[in-house]
Structure 1
Amino acid sequence: MKTPPGLQALIDDGVIDEVLRPLKSGKEASVYVVRSGDDVRCAKVYKDMAQRSFQQRVQYQEGRKVRGSREARAIGKATRFGRRQQEEAWKNTEVDALYQLHAAGARVPRPYGYFNGVLVMDLVTDADGFSAPRLGEVELAADEAREFHRVLVRQVVLMLCGGLIHGDLSAYNVLVGPDGPVVIDFPQVVSASGNNAARTMLLRDVNNLTAHLGRWAPDLLDTWYGEEMWALFEAGDLHPDTVLTGQFVPDEREVDLDGVRQAIEDARQEAIIRQQGREAAENDD
């Protein structure tokens, strides 16, 4: 096939030898099957920022670090330089997360490098060597669904123990390889401790998986793994080998709104009294 412009530089530099075929194309990137020596891999070519919108990314960007104060100010002001920095930060987030999670033993594609805006990584295949299907494209027996759920919950735990939340996990960014599910697509990964929406995103990730796999194993629908692991994470008791039960008792105690309002009013009145005292002291002087 004709070599896409984004991959020609990698061929020129000897990173890959040939582009075999397109694999998929989405809003964020296009993925191609490539050959590197005797190995068949995939190359994720991120699309230019002019083709994409940052408006839906605000909740994901909270808590992400940028290189320096100049870059942070430029991003905040949405200058042209700031948008370029924001673009690079978005790409680098996925690359960094992939390296971190692969090193931690998570079931993610092995990365081989990031070159000129292109991420080269393992091609996930099925038992016959073809590109692996997405979880949302396969039929499962009940026992298979339970096992996939167990494996995927463990991947979420590994991410959370590393301070990360996928943020967009569903049956359509999980591939089914011969050895089980593999999680992909991390540009929207968020900081578990630096993002105010972290808990909500974690619960959404786990609930998406549970709802899908619960189609074949309805007993999964009565589990609370997301809530359980978040409570353990907040308490500092979640570890990669923590055994989860799927059981969780939410705190259903009603909030004492009248008490909260009274406490706020008491604090306000105390501040007024102190201010009056300061003003009286100044007049006496």
Structure 2
Amino acid sequence: MREHDYEDYSDFEDSFDEEPARRVRQVYEGPAPDRSGRLTEGERVRLARLRDDAYTETELPDGADRWTTWDSAEPGPHPTPDWVVTDLGAVDTELGVLKTGKEADVHLLRRGLPGTDGVLLAAKRYRSDEHKLFHRDAGYLEGRRMRRSREMRAMANRSSFGRNLIAEQWAVAEFAALSRLWTIGAPVPYPVQRNGTELLLEFLGDADGAAAPRLAQLRPEPDELADLWAQATAALELLAVQGVAHGDLSAYNLLVHEGHLMVIDLPQVVDLVANPGGHEFLTRDVRNLAGWFHARGLPEHVTAADDLVEALTFAAGLG
């Protein structure tokens, strides 16, 4: 299993010279930064790569939007699935928006060699300056610390640079969590790569680009409902054994793909030991989920939230 360091950040320069970028945009109509303010190193590298493409190419094959970013990104865990396109001659084509959210938007993207069907991916892109505070981020960030006091102050003050840092930290945290959980067989999408604040993930849906439905959208029959509850509790136990809780679990961030319950949206994954509020997050996850299943018809003695919290606490080694 690969270990990921949440604190592994490169040095950050104090300023970003916008004038050369402005000239590039005016002459070549190259890409602009996603966010204003000083850029994190990951975002700077991503933007430089896109600007290099703007300088060297006037038109991409098959009407694509960019060359593959595989060679400049952090790859997902091994073994890499056969369906992942790693050829550096591949191109990425934007197909639309799958989901918008407070912290990130998810886009549908096709990656493949020119002239081939390629593979569909979900591109999750974190934003910062549009939102002054990430959703309840103060509690989730407990236990995650950066090495430099300057970055910590910027994040605490929610300066433009600080929000850029938080966006990148969320991306790093989610990629690390997905990599760790996928490696142990948890029901999560395969994390293909991370490039700055963009994650490319396995697309859960059909070949036509229709995304798998959220659990909240379904009205399962009794047998299916019982099976999905069993899958949900098994997933919670897998996370607990790893010493973590989802942190924001509900029927809205569980997908049902080909009969399998899949856990998504994991940037706020909570360390049950390091985070002082870990037990509270775990309890809320369980109660949210148990409440939904009970409301859809499962008996209360089956969904018994307090018993499940106790069992998960024991599984995490905290009982």
The one of 91, 97, 108 aligned to 1:22: 97
Structure 1 residue runs of 5 or longer lacking an equivalent are 237-285
Q: Deviations over 1:8-42 (max 9, x none)?
A: 94943423521112111111111111101110111
Amino acid at match of 2:213: P
CA distance in 1, matches of 2:235, 2:297: 20
Q: Is contact 1:106-1:158 (8 Å) kept?
A: yes
Return the structure number with greater helix share: 1
> Percent identity among equivalent residues?
35
Structure 1 residues 116, 229: closer, same or farther in 2, change over 3 A? closer
Q: Is contact 2:290-2:304 (8 Å) kept?
A: no
Q: Is contact 1:126-1:177 (8 Å) kept?
A: no
Structure 1 residues 13, 127: closer, same or farther in 2, change over 3 A? closer
Structure 1 residues 81, 26: closer, same or farther in 2, change over 3 A? closer
Amino acid at match of 2:269: V
Give matches, 1:45-194, under 5 Å. Answer: 45-54=125-134, 56-68=136-148, 70-72=150-152, 74-76=154-156, 81-125=161-205, 130-194=210-274
3-state SS, counterpart of residue 186 of structure 2: coil
3-state SS, counterpart of residue 213 of structure 2: coil
Structure 1 residues 80, 131: closer, same or farther in 2, change over 3 A? closer
The one of 268, 285, 298 aligned to 1:217: 298
CA distance in 2, matches of 1:150, 1:64: 32
Indicate the structure (1 or 2) with the bigger Cα radius of gyration.
1
Aligned-pair distance for 1:70? 5.0
CA RMSD, Structure 1 to Structure 2 (Å): 2.7
Structure 2 residue runs of 5 or longer lacking an equivalent are 1-30, 35-45, 54-64, 70-90, 113-117
Query: Counterpart in 1 of 2:106?
Result: 31
Moved more, 157-166 or 46-55: 46-55
Amino acid at match of 1:148: L
Structure 1 residues 77, 26: closer, same or farther in 2, change over 3 A? closer
TM-score (norm 2): 0.65
Structure 1 residues 201, 127: closer, same or farther in 2, change over 3 A? farther
Query: Counterpart in 2 of 1:271?
Result: none
Q: Deviations over 1:137-178 (max 9, x none)?
A: 011122211211111111112222222211000000001100
Matched positions, count: 233
Moved more, 65-74 or 209-218: 65-74
CA distance in 2, matches of 1:70, 1:52: 19
CA distance in 2, matches of 1:188, 1:177: 23
Structure 1 residues 180, 55: closer, same or farther in 2, change over 3 A? closer
TM-score (norm 1): 0.73
CA distance in 2, matches of 1:48, 1:76: 14
Aligned-pair distance for 1:197? 1.0
Query: Counterpart in 2 of 1:241?
Result: none
Q: Is contact 2:213-2:256 (8 Å) kept?
A: yes
Query: Counterpart in 2 of 1:283?
Result: none
Q: Deviations over 1:221-246 (max 9, x none)?
A: 3352122211342447xxxxxxxxxx
Q: Is contact 1:169-1:205 (8 Å) kept?
A: yes
Q: Deviations over 1:75-104 (max 9, x none)?
A: 456565544433322221111111111111
